[in-house]
Chains A and B, each alone.
Chain A
Amino acid sequence: MATLQLNNIVKNFGSTQVIKGVDLEVKDREFVVFVGPSGCGKSTLMRMIAGLESTTSGDIFIDGERINDVGPADRRLAMVFQSYALYPHMTVEDNMGFNLRLAKVPKAERREKVLAAARILQLEELLDRKPRALSGGQRQRVAIGRAIVRNPSIFLFDEPLSNLDAALRVQMRIELARLHEELDATMIYVTHDQIEAMTMADKIVVLQGGVVEQIGSPMALYHHPANRFVAGFIGSPKMNFLDVEIRGADAEGVDVVLPGGDCRVPVKGDGVSTGDKLTLGVRPEHLKIDDQGPLTGKILVIERLGGTTSLYLENGDSQWILVADGDVTSRVHDQIRFSFDPACAHLFKRNGEALLHRHCHPLVASESK
């Protein structure tokens, strides 16, 4: 159980800067997810926390103690690798008890602790097997078990589910969330999958190109993305974007010109003036089919998922995704009109920065209390 603090962390590989000054505070028992496209530096950041990679500059604190010069063995962390990194020549029991063996813990006590962890993960039957005799999901469990036995101050997970099939991934996701609840531990989790991030995190750190784009709760990122990148990255299907012109703006809202009529988006319009070009962002689930709507499009593809239906629309250069009810009757090639609730829309400046919403989403507001 521990806190973690990163102060202006920078990492260079040769002349390439891969982490460009990251600040982060992780509270005790928090589940923090680093998410971003591949190459964004999230794994490197985790490896620096683990001590497997040195920092070029900046400080790392665990429980207030600076650990830059402490080796990985002495940071009291446990890490679950993407490849699981189970020792192939050792049985499951030896794999899980290896850290105790290194710490010269007596055999009986070692077995007891391994059994306790095995019970949590339902691994008791497999203790005598070698890793190659295990399925992917079982290996994953052993890797987590090994981390639990270590009784670390912080758990690190480096894309632990990416080698599992879709069904198993969902199951392990739930299991990890349960484990976090049960162990009451601080956990840091790296993934490129925004669904894993949304479902498990207390706090998400969105990274791109070695820079933190936004830190916040899943709902804060969803409802109040700080910029266009976060808006596009979080949420599935992706947010729709449309370049728009501004009719007028004040502190109460911004008037946007749309093909079928203007619309007032309730964001703070400071620094925006008439004639400016902004980007409008609306999530597919916030678009609705509406015969009076200000937007039109031709249906290119319909994906019926049962509960919902995704409509892929095209209008000139602009492409839209609209998530409608499962029983929507539209057909491919239909021309439809659609609209959205301006309160759910976002506006982004040319540099990608979002205009602040006038009202905080109730879910997000309740989190900060």
Chain B
Amino acid sequence: MNTSKRWLPRTFKVALLTLLLLWTLIPICWMVLSSFKANDIITASTPRVLFSPTLEHYASLFSSGNSLWPYLLNSLFIAGTSTLIAVVLGCMAGFGLSRIRIKGKQHLAFWIISTRMAPIAAVIVPLYLLFRYLYLLDTHAGLIVAYLSFNLPFAIWLMTAFFDDLPPDLEEAAMIDGATKLQAFRYVVLPLMTPGLVTTTILCFIFAWNDYAFAQTFSGPNTQTIPIAAAQLLTQTGIDWGKLLAIGTIVVCPMAIAGLLVKRWLVQGLTLGAVK
């Protein structure tokens, strides 16, 4: 009785998840697959699943006059640095915010995360003006600051939630064991924060790595990132689909692989506080 009752919704669940999975995965798989196709096969009116793969698009991305290398390095440097700063500061601020006893702490925490709620478009113009006065346009620092303006509040908020989950008893025990506050943080709190740090790092990096709007507005010839490189392939004379798909693959794959590697922590991080 009972099993048959549960059996029906289970099929339904599986079907729904399958549908969702196909919806998400097919475009990505098609992109990756097509990046290995010759140009005429990509644009052929009958889609082809079987073909002889070619690396010509990747080769031309890194060899032609307009090589992808500087874009890739810019992306890595800018996303990496802004993520590092966001995670380090977010970790310290989150710890402080979680442990401090002040009036209106909830409001403070909400105010911090609320700065992340503004749509990117709303801050682009003010930031542009600021950056112009500060000579930050077309600099790595400018983009790093721009990403920080979104990633830092997010990192603080997320890390605060992680620290809230860690009983203060542990630090207190360490302090009674003879540790200074910093030693307690270093030896006891930080090692237990791995899931939080990994989750925050990945999510911050994804935001900076994928961003197009900030990069389009604030970058110049020296600081363009991969998404800009992709956009440059959409020209008035035509779209170089092969290269575009190859860039897309280069952007998506590292994130997907990193996500899979740290899945255990990421799930724990994303479901934080959901189950006690």
Contacts and interface: CB of A to CB of B under 8 A. Distances in A.
Interface of A: 14, 50-52, 71-75, 77-79, 81-83, 85-89, 98-99, 102-103, 146, 150
B185 to A, nearest CB: 13
Nearest to B181: A71
B217 interface: no
B178 A88 contact: no
A86 B167 CA distance: 11
A50 B183 CA distance: 18
A98 B176 contact: no
A334 B52 CA distance: 98
Interface string B158-189: 00000000010110111111111001000110
B191 interface: yes
A88 B178 CA distance: 18
Nearest to B103: A14
A103 B174 CA distance: 12
A102 B177 contact: yes
A88 B187 CA distance: 12
Nearest to A97: B177
A47 to B, nearest CB: 8
B192 interface: yes
Q: Is the interface of A mostly helix, strand, loop or mixed?
A: loop
Contact of B172 (A75, A85, A89, A98): A85
Contact of A87 (B103, B174, B180): B174
Contacts of A14: 103
Contact of B176 (A50, A87, A88, A103): A50
A74, A86, A102, A146 interface centre (most CB from chain B within 10 Å): A102
Interface of B: 103, 167, 169-170, 172-180, 183, 187-188, 191-192
B191 A89 contact: yes
Contacts of A82: 169
Contacts of B172: 50, 52, 72, 79, 81, 85
Q: Is the interface of B mostly helix, strand, loop or mixed?
A: helix
Nearest to A83: B169
Contacts of A79: 172-173, 176
A98 B174 contact: yes
14 contacts: A14-B103, A52-B176, A72-B176, A79-B173, A81-B172, A82-B169, A89-B191, A89-B192, A98-B179, A98-B187, A102-B179, A102-B187, A150-B177, A150-B178
A85 B177 CA distance: 11
A39 to B, nearest CB: 18
A130 to B, nearest CB: 12
Nearest to A98: B177
Contacts of B170: 85, 87-88
A99 B179 CA distance: 8
Given A87-B188, A88-B192, A89-B191, A102 B178 contact: yes
B174 A78 contact: no
B54 to A, nearest CB: 49
Given A51-B176, A85-B172, 15 more contacts: A51-B175, A72-B175, A73-B175, A73-B177, A83-B167, A85-B170, A87-B170, A88-B170, A89-B191, A89-B192, A98-B177, A98-B179, A99-B178, A103-B178, A150-B178
A73 B176 contact: yes
A148 to B, nearest CB: 12
B270 to A, nearest CB: 21
A77 B178 contact: no
B187 to A, nearest CB: 8
A88 B188 CA distance: 9
B177 A99 contact: yes
Contacts of A99: 177-178
A89 B187 CA distance: 10
A357 B180 CA distance: 52
B226 to A, nearest CB: 37
Contact of A78 (B169, B176, B179, B183): B176
B178 A73 contact: yes
A132 to B, nearest CB: 12
Contacts of A83: 167, 169
A81 B103 CA distance: 27
Contacts of A50: 172, 176
A79 B167 CA distance: 16
Contact of B175 (A52, A86, A87, A150): A52
Nearest to B167: A83
Contacts of B169: 81-83, 85
Contacts of A146: 173, 177
Contacts of B176: 50-52, 72-73, 75, 77-79
Contacts of B179: 73, 98, 102
Nearest to B177: A99
Contacts of B192: 88-89
